[in-house]
Structure 1
Amino acid sequence: MIELVSDSPRALARLKVAFRACPAEFEKLKHEVNAGRVSLYELSDDSYRVTVAGEIIGHSYFLWGVSGRGVIPAMRELKAYVKSAGLSSISAETYFPLVARLCRRLSTEEHACGDVTHMEMKV
């Protein structure tokens, strides 16, 4: 199940942990959510509960942040929504090598740029 939670301060607060390597980006995220350019969603099922922040950029759904339990099955669900919206991929960037490694189970393509890894998953 997916639910729009952009108006929930608690949902935004759950994402703060995803920005521990770049706290200034979390402040930018809050501004973008308040301006309506980035949306927050809660994906949940028996095996996962994940909060995501994202926006459409071109033909991709760009994830600003993801937090929660069961990220892999939640991203598989998100993939179906992104595809039905007519987009071709889900993309994200991370400072955490372990996150990039975890996402390889989703068949992501990776490109390292300094301390950041850009990931893209076709839908």
Structure 2
Amino acid sequence: MSTELRDRLREIQDALGVVDGPEGVERAGDLGAHAEAIERYAAELTAEGEEPGEAAERLTGAAKAVRRAAKAAERYRVNPLTRDFSQGRFALATGQARVRLGGAIDVLDGVPDAAADAS
């Protein structure tokens, strides 16, 4: 796995950290592009024939979470009555995406899974 791909994933993870927070939902315009990029990287992993299993699954989960965040941001803009709920959904989804991206990067780096060590 190339370090270039890991660096791109870290950049997306950092970008998601910037949009997290109360004012972040209003600056969430790049989420669709981030989701597409994550899905493309998951497909690259599968195409390379390396052990894509866990890393690709985590990337797919991250892409889904980013799409949920984009939907929450859209609901935030469209419906003022549910802004508090939409903001909460947005924060939860971006947090999940960041954690899943971090997990995928750890798998690609060969870092042992802490959850597996706990059992």
Q: TM-score, normalised by structure 2?
A: 0.28
Higher relative contact order (CA 8 A, sep 6+): 2
Q: TM-score, normalised by structure 1?
A: 0.27
* Higher-helix-fraction structure: 2
